[in-house]
Structure 1
Amino acid sequence: MYQSYFSEEHNAFRQSFRDFLNKEAVPHIDRWEETGQIDREIFEKMGEMGYFGLYYPEKYGGLDLDFFYTVIFLEEMQRINSGGFAAAMWVQAFLGAQHLLKEGDERIKQEYLVPTLTGEKIGCLGITEPFGGSDVAGMRTTAVKDGDEWVINGSKTFITNGVYSDYLVIAAKTDPEAKGRGISIFVMDRETPGISATKLNKLGWRASDTGEIGFNNVRIPAENLMGEQGKGFPYIMQHFALERLIMGINSHARAEYAIEYTIGYMKERSAFGQSLDKYQALRHKLADMMSEVEMAKCFNYNIAAELDKGLYPVKEASMSKLVSTKIADETINSCLQFLGGYGYIEEYPLARMLRDSRLGPIGGGTSEIMREIIAKMTIDGKDYKPAAK
C-alpha cells in the first residue's frame, strides 16, 4: 500500500537499521532504563553510520536523503521499546540541530552541527521553562548584551539530553517588553561557567536524561547569537511543525508495535479451551484499533511527503500530534488489558510502553495547545508562516 513512499532502497535501509539497533542498542536498553543514562558510544556509532545526518546536506556530513528515511529511523526505534532512547536519538538529530542548520552561521555549523551529525557532540534544545510550559512567548530567561558578550540568566526544564549534552541551544528574551518578538536563539558550551543541571525523575522515557537547567550570569560570545536578534519566536514555531510530526510518527509506530506484540501473545495464550485471538469481542476490538492506527499512519505519511516537498504543514502536523498520540495511548492501554495481569508486569513490554506513551499528549506542545492552534487556523483564519530568510 505504501509503495509510493518507500522504495527498495528504503526497505533495505529499514532492515539494516533494524539489525543495527538489535545489535548495538537492544542489549543495553534495560541498563539504560535503570540508570537513566545512555552510553555515549551509541551516539558515536549512530553518527558513524550516518543515522543523525539522514536529512542534512552533504556539506555538513549529512546524506541529503528524502524524509522517508527519517520516517523509518523514527519507526524502527519505537520497536525496541524505549521511548527514552528513541527521544535522545531524535532530539540529537533534529531539535537543536535544526536551529544550528537554519539559523547558525558557518562557524557555528562547523563547530556544532558537524560533530552533532557524527555523534561526537551531544546537543539539546532549551525552550520550555518551569513557569511557562507551552507559553513560549511568556519565557523569563533573559539575555542582556554586555560589550562583546551576552549574559544569560534564567532556567529551562523538561530538557531531553539536558544533563549530559556537550552544548545547549537555548531561547532567551533579548527584549523583555516585546513579548514574542523579543526572543532570540543562542548556542553555548556545557562547561561555560554558571550553567547547572538537575536530572528529573520521570514516569516514563527513563533511559533519557531529562533535566532542569539553570543559568546564573552565564557569559557567552556575542557571535553565539543565531539568526537575527528578536526573531527567535518565528524560528521556534517554524521547527515545531517538524517536532510535532516526529511525535505523530513515533505514536503510530509505537501503537503498531503494541498491536503486533499483543496479537502474538493472544495466539499463544489460551483461556476456556481456546486461544485469546479466537474470541470475537477481542478480535473486533483489535480490528478497531488497527483501523485507527492505520489511518493515523496514512495521514502522517501524507504530511511527511508534504514536508519533503519543502511545504510548511503547521495545521496538519498539529493534527498529527493531537490525534496520533491519543490513538497510541488508547491502543496501548487496551493492549495492556488484553495481556491481563502480565500487562502489569515489568518483564512484559506493555508496562514500559504505557508509561512512555503517556508523554505523547504532553511533550512538544500539549494536546490542549494543539487544539487551539488548529482552531485558530480553521476557525479564525490564522496563517502560520515560516520565518523570513
Structure 2
Amino acid sequence: MTSPSLHPFDLFGIDTLLNDEERDIRDTVRAMSDRDLRPHVADWFERGSIPARELAAQLGELGVLGMHLQGYGCAGTSAVAYGLACLELEAVDSGLRSLVSVQGSLAMYAIWKYGSREQKERWLPGMAAGRFIGCFGLTEPDAGSDPGAMRTHARRDGGDWVLNGTKMWITNGSVADIAVVWARTDDGVRGFLVPAGTPGFTAHDIRHKVSLRASVTSELVLEDVRLPADAVLPGARGLSGPLGCLNEARFGIVFGAVGAARDCLETALAYAADRTVFDRPLAGFQLTQQKLADMTLELGKGMLLALQLGRLKDAGRITPERISLGKLNNVREALEIARQCRTLLGANGITLEYPVIRHANNLESVLTYEGTSEVHTLVIGRSVTGVPAFR
C-alpha cells in the first residue's frame, strides 16, 4: 500500500520561507530553464560547446545578468532572489550557472563596485542585457588558492599601462567582450578592463575537459598589452578587490549547488518509483529508502543554510566566513548526493540520458573553483580558533 509522496523541500516547508516576489522569480527562471535550456544541455555537454552569445542574450532578456546589482539596467533584486535564480540554473547545469555568476558577480560586480562612472556607463547596461559578455582574470597556472602569488604584472609607460602575464581556467574567456584582469603593480594589485581585440591580448579555449563541458573555459595571454590610464578600476587596490568579487560569486554557488543536488534527487526518486527489481519498485527497498531519506535530509539542510545566508546578505550582515560555511557544506553535500543518486540508477546513471553523472562531474569542478574545500575549511578553522593555519 502506498501513500502520496512529498517533494523533499515540502518536508522542510521551504516555500513558506519565501515571499511572493522570490517565488515568482524562482518560478520564472525555472520555466525558462526547463523550456529553453534543459532540452539541449546534454548535447552541449557531450559536444563540449555552448551557444554562448545566444544564451547571454536570452539570459539578459530574462533579467538575471547582474540582477542583484542596482542601476545601469540591473534589476536590483534581493540576494535571496538572485540565489534562487542560481539554484534553478544549476539544476540544469553548473556551467550555465557559471556563465551567469561570472558575468554578474565577478565581471559586472567588479565594474559596479570598483569602476568609474564612465566605466559603469560604458559596460554595465550592455552586460546586463547580454549584448556584452565579461570574464574575470584572476587565477593563473601557478596561482590558484594563493592569488597573492600572481605573476601577471602591469607597469606604467608614460600615461599608459603595459600588461604581461597569463590567466588560466577563465570562464567565458574566449567569448568575452571585456576582461577584468588583475595584475601586480608598484602600487599593489590593481584591476584592469581589457577589451577583446586589444593588441597582444589573446584567449584560447581549454579542451579535453570532462567537467563543466557546457561552459567556455579559457586561457588568457597578455603580451605587452597597452592600455590607457582610464582602463584601471579606480576603486580597487590590493587583493581585497578581487577577493570581494569572489565572495559575491561564492554566494551564488551556495544556492547553485543545492539546485544540482535537487535535480539529482528528483531524478533518483522518479527512477526508483518506476524501476522494478525482484517484482517490486526499487523505491520499496529499505536500503533505497535509507539513501533517499539521508539525501533528503542533507538537501533540505543545505537549502535552509542557503536561505539563512541570503537573509544575512540582504541585511548587510554576511561575512566571508559565513560564505565559506555555505560553499564548503553545500558543494560537498551536493557532490555526495550526486554520487549516491548515481548508485541508485545503476548503469543508467553513467549515461547522459539522465543528468546525474553530468552533475557529479560538474560538481567536482565546483568543489575546487572559487576556493577549494581545503581553503574554506581553513577559513572556518581560523574563525573558530583565532589561529590562521594557511602557511
Which residues in structure 2 correspond to 1:119-268 (within 5 Å)? Answer: 119-175=130-186, 182-201=188-207, 202-228=209-235, 231-268=237-274
Q: What SS does the corresponding residue of 2:192 show, helix, strand or coil?
A: strand
8 Å CA contact 2:258, 2:330 repeated in 1: yes
Q: 2:62 aligns with which of 49, 52, 70?
A: 49
Residue in 2 aligned with 1:370?
Answer: 376
Q: What SS does the corresponding residue of 2:163 show, helix, strand or coil?
A: strand
Residue in 2 aligned with 1:352?
Answer: 358
8 Å CA contact 1:67, 1:308 repeated in 2: yes
Residue in 2 aligned with 1:385?
Answer: none
8 Å CA contact 2:107, 2:179 repeated in 1: yes
1:275 paired with 2:301, answer: no
- Unmatched runs of 5 consecutive residues or more in structure 1: 176-180, 383-389
Residues 24-77 of structure 1 show CA distances to partners (whole Å, capped at 9, x for unaligned) of 3234324432142324122112212322142121x3111212112112211111
Deviation for aligned residue 1:377: 2.0
Q: 1:311 aligns with which of 314, 317, 334?
A: 317
Distance 1:339 1:200 in 2: 31
Q: Call closer, same or farther: CA 1:253–1:35 in 2, change over 3 Å.
A: closer
Residues 187-222 of structure 1 show CA distances to partners (whole Å, capped at 9, x for unaligned) of 110110101122112221111110011100001111
Q: Call closer, same or farther: CA 1:235–1:5 in 2, change over 3 Å.
A: farther
Deviation for aligned residue 1:379: 1.2
Distance 1:232 1:164 in 2: 28
Residue in 1 aligned with 2:33?
Answer: 21
Q: What SS does the corresponding residue of 2:14 show, helix, strand or coil?
A: coil
Give percent identity, aligned residues only.
Answer: 28
Distance 2:134 2:356 in 1: 30
Residues 315-364 of structure 1 show CA distances to partners (whole Å, capped at 9, x for unaligned) of 11111111111111111001001111111222222121111111122010
Deviation for aligned residue 1:3: 4.9
Distance 1:171 1:309 in 2: 30
Aligned amino acid, residue 108 of structure 2: A
Q: What SS does the corresponding residue of 1:196 show, helix, strand or coil?
A: strand
Q: What SS does the corresponding residue of 2:75 show, helix, strand or coil?
A: coil
Q: Call closer, same or farther: CA 1:27–1:343 in 2, change over 3 Å.
A: closer
Residues 255-292 of structure 1 show CA distances to partners (whole Å, capped at 9, x for unaligned) of 12211110000000011111010000110121112111
Distance 2:39 2:288 in 1: 33
8 Å CA contact 2:348, 2:354 repeated in 1: yes
- Unmatched runs of 5 consecutive residues or more in structure 2: 1-12
Residue in 1 aligned with 2:4?
Answer: none
8 Å CA contact 2:66, 2:105 repeated in 1: no
Q: Call closer, same or farther: CA 1:99–1:68 in 2, change over 3 Å.
A: same
TM-score normalised over the length of structure 2: 0.91
Residue in 2 aligned with 1:76?
Answer: 88
Q: Call closer, same or farther: CA 1:12–1:28 in 2, change over 3 Å.
A: same
Distance 1:89 1:241 in 2: 15
Q: Call closer, same or farther: CA 1:96–1:232 in 2, change over 3 Å.
A: farther
Q: Call closer, same or farther: CA 1:193–1:126 in 2, change over 3 Å.
A: same
8 Å CA contact 2:192, 2:232 repeated in 1: yes
Distance 2:15 2:99 in 1: 30
TM-score normalised over the length of structure 1: 0.92
Q: Call closer, same or farther: CA 1:104–1:364 in 2, change over 3 Å.
A: same
CA RMSD of aligned residues (A): 1.7
